[in-house]
């Protein structure tokens, strides 16, 4: 398919892909080394395959923070520079410090 070269410029075929049940992911997952999915419509949100936890929490967390960053910092983005906003949010996500249990207070 024509999308293959572009897709795999950004995605490593050797990675394990964890998705929900959207049909598009089945096609994409078939081109990856390994693909697991959870069935949200049946109430399945996490399961284990061997020792691998299968869920979409990391993806949902990243895109939630991405949307919040766009709305809270930039307010508007241009398609021309969308990759730059994505790279900035990727840096922020990968540089965040883990929080300890309990409440965080500003002080």
Q: What is this structure's pTM?
A: 0.63
Give the chain's count of helices (H) and strands (E).
4, 4
Residue 107 or residue 55, greater confidence:
55
> d(Cα 45, Cα 50) in Å, to the nearest integer?
16
pLDDT tens-place string over residues 15-28: 888 889 988 888 87
Rg over CA atoms, the chain: 17
The three-class DSSP label of residue 53 is: strand
> d(Cα 38, Cα 41) in Å, to the nearest integer?
9
């Amino acid at each position: 398919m024509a999308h293959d070269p572009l897709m795999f410029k950004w995605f490593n075929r050797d990675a394990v892909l964890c998705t929900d049940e959207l049909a598009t992911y089945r096609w994409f997952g078939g081109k990856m080394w390994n693909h697991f999915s959870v069935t949200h419509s049946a109430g399945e949100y996490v399961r284990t395959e061997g020792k691998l936890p299968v869920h979409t929490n990391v993806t949902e967390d990243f895109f939630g923070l991405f949307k919040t960053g766009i709305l809270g910092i930039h307010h508007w983005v241009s398609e021309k520079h969308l990759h730059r906003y994505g790279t900035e949010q990727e840096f922020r996500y990968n540089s965040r410090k883990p929080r300890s249990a309990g409440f965080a207070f500003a002080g």
